[in-house]
């Protein structure tokens, strides 16, 4: 009987050690680093817009070859951090299409004053604002009074 108790305690201790190692190995910082490092490209087709969800963001641009590995890291993170995860948001929809810009995956930028059929086709350029109506979406520059 005593031998059975010792074996049970060793097994429980081993499980705890493995869990703690996984807890620290699959930390939020490691997953964030992997996501950051995955944002590289040579051509537009390298890029993909992915929703990793809370707490890793809604609509993240990454190299398509890295998506699966990151999702696996997030799965392990979720398993080892399920009792510490507190998310205060949900992801509704994905933002703009991905484009390779300077070896980095970024949102596609719209041309100002051009009509687009879908507001998710592109992001309005800096200094402009999105106007959506029954015809589609246009980015317009607002004139500021001096």
Do 117 and 101 share a structural domain? no
User: Is-contact 112 141, C-beta < 8 A?
Assistant: yes
Do 133 and 97 share a structural domain? no
Expressed as residue numbers, the domain containing 113 is 109-146
Answer whether residue 15 shows pLDDT above 80: no
**What is the tally of structural domains in the chain?**
2
Do 113 and 102 share a structural domain? no
**Distance (Å, rounded) from C-alpha 56 to C-alpha 33?**
11
Do 15 and 74 share a structural domain? yes
Do 18 and 38 share a structural domain? yes
Please tell me the predicted confidence (pLDDT) of residue 12.
66
Do 99 and 33 share a structural domain? yes
Do 62 and 134 share a structural domain? no
Do 103 and 122 share a structural domain? no
Do 143 and 80 share a structural domain? no
Mean pLDDT of all residues belonging to the chain:
80
- Place 117 in a pLDDT band, splitting at 50, 70 and 90: confident
Do 127 and 83 share a structural domain? no
- Place 23 in a pLDDT band, splitting at 50, 70 and 90: low
Overall pTM surpassing 0.85 (yes/no): no
Asked whether the CA dihedral 109, 115, 118, 124 is positive or negative, the reply is: positive
Do 44 and 89 share a structural domain? yes
Do 53 and 72 share a structural domain? yes
**Distance (Å, rounded) from C-alpha 35 to C-alpha 137?**
30
């Amino acid at each position: 009987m005593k031998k059975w108790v010792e074996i049970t305690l060793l097994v429980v201790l081993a499980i705890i050690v493995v869990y703690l190692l996984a807890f620290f190995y699959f930390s939020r910082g490691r997953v964030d680093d992997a996501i950051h490092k995955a944002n590289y490209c040579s051509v537009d087709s390298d890029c993909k817009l992915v929703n990793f969800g809370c707490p890793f963001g809604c609509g993240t641009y990454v190299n398509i070859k890295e998506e699966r590995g990151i999702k696996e890291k997030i799965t392990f993170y979720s398993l080892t951090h399920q009792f510490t995860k507190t998310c205060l948001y949900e992801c509704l929809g994905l933002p703009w299409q991905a484009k390779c810009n300077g070896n980095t995956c970024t949102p596609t930028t719209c041309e100002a004053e051009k009509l687009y059929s879908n507001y998710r086709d592109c992001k309005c350029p800096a200094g402009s604002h999105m106007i959506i109506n029954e015809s589609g979406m246009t980015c317009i520059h607002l004139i500021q009074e001096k």
